[in-house]
Structure 1
Amino acid sequence: MLLHDFRRETRVEESRDVVTLEQQNGTRWIKNTIIEDTTLLPAALKQGRTGHYQIQAAISGVNAHSAD
C-alpha cells in the first residue's frame, strides 16, 4: 500500500483540515515511494490474481502521476 502513503504529508493541514487531492502540493509527495510502487505494481498485476489491493494501488498510481 505504498501508493497510499506517498501523500501522507499533504493530506491534512496543520489545522487538522483535510486537503483534497486537487489542493495538495505535489512537490511535497514522497517521490521515492511513488517510484518504488509503480515498479512493483505491474509485476503484481501480471500474476493474474487482481484483487482489491491491486485495484486500489492502480487508482493511487493514477493520482501519483497527477502532479507531473
Structure 2
Amino acid sequence: NAVAESFFQLLKRERIKRKTYRSREEARQDVFNYIEMFYNPIRRHGHNGNLSPIKFEEKFVSKVGGV
C-alpha cells in the first residue's frame, strides 16, 4: 500500500531516526505524539491542498454543510 509506505517513510525520516528510545513505552508514546499532536493537526500535506488533515476536513465539512 503506497499510502502506508509513504506515511512510515515520513515517520522514520521526521521522528524515529533522530531519537534513541530508552524503552518500548517511550517509543510508543513518541510515535503516538507524532501522529496525534503533529501529523494530523499541524503537518501540511501536498495532496490536501497543502492543508493539515484536520484543516482539510474542516474545510470539507463547511462546504457540505456539516455531517
The two structures have a TM-score, normalised by structure 1, of 0.28
The two structures have a TM-score, normalised by structure 2, of 0.28
